[in-house]
């Protein structure tokens, strides 16, 4: 255990981006596994897209998440994206990864591959031991796939299946605004397509599909958001072999 690290007083930060969308993130986690947690406010209920590592309580530290019912969606089953799902009653995800959400392991969530003591800049609480990290089980209460709708009362998102980074990777598309949430299928960084055998093959199909969306803004699973012009650049880079596998800032241990 790295006893030299300080304990963080505050674990989450929140940036309001307009259009009733907020970015929640864990600043004391290494950038490589620092997931973008997206909160969308609706008229009747809110949507939470991914929940981070789950090493500190998300629901009670972000008071706005307790103001109304929350639909909690996991874009995919990797540990950095759904560690806090156990705190929420309504949990959505793709059926291909339902078994992982119900009975996660370090291997199936990729925590064994990517998380280490060097993953933390500060500790979530005193005595925390990163090598003992586990994701708590959070079985899906609703399995969602291509074309399913998530209705918040005044806005509706369509589920799109975007395999490549993981078999059950999904995104959300709001046609009325041109807003696209892509999880780890697309973000402004080097994309990881080597997590499973068919990853590169399926990623190619996903990229060719994404370029057809009339996007205004893309909110990815990591890194800053971007518009359609940058989206096309990122897709072209990937198709040209410039952004495949690995990632800048990959853990040193």
What does the alpha-carbon distance between residue 92 and residue 69 come to, in Å, rounded to a whole number? 14
* Angle between helical axes of 228-239 and 199-210 (0-180°, round to 10): 150
- 58's CB contacts (< 8 A; 6+ apart) are 12, 24, 37, 51, 52, 65, 84, 87
Which two three-digit tokens encode residue 163?
């395999």
Pairwise CA distance, residues 204 & 183, whole Å: 16
Q: Which DSSP state fits 85?
A: G
pTM of the model: 0.93
Minimal CA–CA distance to 96: which of 163, 37, 185, 48?
A: 163
* Of residues 54, 87, 55, 52, the one with CA closest to residue 70: 87
Q: What pLDDT, on the 0 to 100 scale, is given for residue 242?
A: 74
Question: Which of the four pLDDT bands, split at 50, 70 and 90, describes residue 3?
Answer: low
**C-beta neighbour count of 4 within 10 angstroms:** 5
Asked if 222 and 35 count as a contact pair (C-beta separation under 8 A), the reply is yes
SS3 219: strand
Q: How confident is the model at residue 248 (pLDDT cuts 50, 70, 90)?
A: very low
pLDDT over 90 for what percent of the chain?
90
Mean pLDDT in residue range 236-242: 89
pLDDT, residue 244, reads 59
What is the percent of the chain where pLDDT is above 70?
94
Round to whole Å and give the CA distance between 178 and 165: 23
Question: Token pair for residue 62?
Answer: 């972000």
Tokens representing 242? 């410039």
Dist CA 42 CA 161 (whole Å):
23
Q: pLDDT (tens digit, 9 = 90+) per residue, 23-39? A: 999 999 999 999 999 99
pLDDT digits (tens, 9 = 90+) for 64-115: 888 899 999 999 999 999 999 999 999 999 999 999 999 999 999 999 999 9
Task: Identify the pLDDT of residue 66.
Answer: 85
Q: Which domains does the chain have, with CATH numbers?
A: 13-239 (3.60.15.10)
């Amino acid at each position: 255990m790295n006893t030299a690290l300080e304990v963080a007083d505050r674990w989450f930060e929140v940036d309001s981006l307009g259009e009733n969308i907020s970015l929640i993130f864990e600043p004391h986690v290494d950038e490589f596994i620092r997931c973008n947690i997206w909160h969308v406010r609706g008229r009747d209920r809110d949507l939470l897209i991914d929940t981070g590592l789950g090493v500190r309580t998300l629901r009670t530290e972000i008071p706005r998440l307790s103001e109304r019912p929350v639909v909690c969606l996991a874009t995919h089953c990797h540990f950095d994206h759904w560690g806090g799902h156990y705190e929420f009653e309504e949990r959505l995800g793709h059926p291909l990864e339902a078994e992982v959400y119900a009975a996660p392991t370090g291997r199936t969530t990729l925590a064994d591959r990517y998380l280490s003591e060097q993953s933390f800049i500060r500790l979530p609480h005193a005595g925390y031991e990163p090598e003992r990290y586990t994701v708590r089980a959070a079985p899906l209460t609703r399995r969602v796939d291509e074309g399913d709708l998530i209705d918040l009362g005044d806005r509706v998102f369509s589920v799109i299946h975007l395999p490549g980074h993981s078999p059950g990777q999904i995104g959300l598309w709001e046609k009325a605004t041109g807003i696209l949430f892509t999880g780890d299928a697309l973000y402004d960084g080097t994309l990881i397509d080597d997590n499973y055998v068919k990853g590169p093959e399926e990623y190619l199909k996903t990229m060719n599909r994404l370029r057809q969306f009339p996007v205004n803004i893309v909110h990815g699973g990591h890194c800053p958001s971007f518009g359609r012009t940058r989206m096309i650049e990122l897709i072209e880079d990937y198709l040209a072999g410039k952004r495949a596998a690995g990632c800048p800032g990959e853990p040193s241990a």
